[in-house]
Structure 1
Amino acid sequence: MNRFFVNSSQINEEAKKIHIVDEDVKHISKVLRLNVGDLIEICDGDGFEYIGEIQEINKDQVIAIYIDKKEVRSEAPIKVTLYQGVPKSTKMDLIIQKTTEMGIVEIIPVFTHRTVVQLDNKKDKEKKTDRWQKIAAEAAKQSKRGIIPLVHLPLTFKEALSHCETNCLNIIAYEREHQQGLKKLLQGMDSTINSIGIWIGPEGGFTEEEVEAAINQQVNSVTLGPRILRTETAGFALLSMVMYELGDLGGLR
């Protein structure tokens, strides 16, 4: 079944009705060509998912009667936030899509010293972020997520360091790190670690000054191995290893 996201205000628990609005209406009626009586999955983004039977389709909304309600079981037991140095071209699209599939909760685009892409004003940043958020939404539907990851407006490196202070653990992938590997770091973690920030540089990586500033903010510098990974590959690799060791990738322990 196709999955759609709504907020709690669109759910009438007493009447067991769910109102789907905005772009999903066109997608249901024009793209998927669903009809009255068809079943769909609906997620409230707050821990519950519903099986709904379409009751009405009109220009402004789709109304479904839910016939089943259950807790979402597709979210990982840890919250992982990606701090991604903004890459060139459409690489960020791929990064958002695939990390959403793997369970990321938040994505923070970061402007670093070696970031080539420049968004000169707030309007450009908002336009780009809206596009990225739509990519996250589509990936969340496809992968049966319980939430849509939040894509933030781009931050400076300094702003991102302030943002990460609330995480239990922060990890920065650095190709010049030779003392501490990710494998050793993760194996020493305990069950109290429930929020992790992972840091990936743009093309060219982080500068020594940026890594030093991160380490001074208690961010753990690690190597991912002997081979240099592209920026769009490093995030997948780091997130996969974190989700395998501390999350639910590969199945819960």
Structure 2
Amino acid sequence: MPPRIHVDVPLVAGTELTLPGAASRHVQVLRLQPGDAITLFDGQGGQWQAEVLAMGRKDVTARLLAHQPLERELHTPVTLALGMPANERMDALVEKATELGVATIVPLVCERSVLRLAGERAERRSAHWQAIAVAACEQSGRNRVPQVLPPQPLRAWLAGQPLSLPASLPAEGLRLVLSLADDTQPLRQRLAAHGGGPVSLLSGPEGGLSPAELAAAAAAGHLPTTLGARVLRADTAPLAALAVIAALESPP
């Protein structure tokens, strides 16, 4: 199978193009040669059969051949909003969530968050996580790259006004918050009662969401939802929920 490479420029059949820097480096690291087959995708759906035309010291030229209208997305668009776990766990979470089919990732700063990012540091980390999502798409076969938004306060996201960005809180669809409270319903039960459309899944940081944050989530329409009796880590719970959603969509 030809290697899959993401390019952040529009692709048109029959054209020749110089691959962007990251894509060129990818081809060079793989030690590909002129005439070798590659698969390119621009993140907007489908993928392209292509071949390497020339290998320069810094640039790689390729020719686009045929478009393949493949879709490997979940039928249910999932927005995953989560209190960022500390250390390198957020990197792994972005990677695995992308593999599982997430559509949008919203890193949140919560009352109990260990990792707190703002300003230029937040922008750098957001770009880093977006690159991880691209690499995960290349590996997993996805042709649409999920969007990783800049970190923002939980309250701002719940208000639908995240740092001058378009509102990321779905206006319609199912809103869920992972909770261990007594009045929760299992995720499978919530999904079974859902009539279709997007799903917004809110998950807390280490130590969970505070009572005030849970109340604010409930006021914004998020239904308390459980994954079972065991307490899962901040980087485990959202992935477990995504796996359930993906499994329920899989053919028998």
Same fold (TM over 0.5): yes
Cα separation, 2, equivalents of 1:18 and 1:167: 40
Cα separation, 2, equivalents of 1:200 and 1:87: 11
CA contact (8 A) 1:5 1:43 kept: yes
CA contact (8 A) 2:170 2:198 kept: no
Q: Any unmatched runs of 5+ in structure 2?
A: 161-167
Alignment of 1:63-212 (within 5 A): 63-119=61-117, 121-161=118-158, 162=160, 163-190=168-195, 193-212=196-215
Identity, % of aligned positions: 28
Question: Are 2:43 and 1:42 equivalent residues in the alignment?
Answer: no
SS of the residue corresponding to residue 19 of structure 2 reads: strand
Aligned CA RMSD, in angstroms, stands at 1.7
Large movers: runs of 4+ above 3 Å: none
User: How big is the shift at 1:59?
Assistant: 3.9
TM-score, reference length from structure 2: 0.90
Cα separation, 1, equivalents of 2:105 and 2:5: 21
Q: Which amino acid aligns with 2:188?
A: K
| Equivalent pairs, count | 243
Cα separation, 1, equivalents of 2:9 and 2:85: 35
User: How big is the shift at 1:217?
Assistant: 0.9
Cα separation, 1, equivalents of 2:51 and 2:222: 48
Q: Any unmatched runs of 5+ in structure 1?
A: none
Question: Are 2:237 and 1:234 equivalent residues in the alignment?
Answer: yes
User: How big is the shift at 1:100?
Assistant: 0.4
SS of the residue corresponding to residue 33 of structure 1 reads: coil
Indicate how the Cα distance of structure 1 residues 146 and 62 shifts in structure 2: closer, same or farther if over 3 A, else same.
same
TM-score, reference length from structure 1: 0.90
User: How big is the shift at 1:60?
Assistant: 4.6
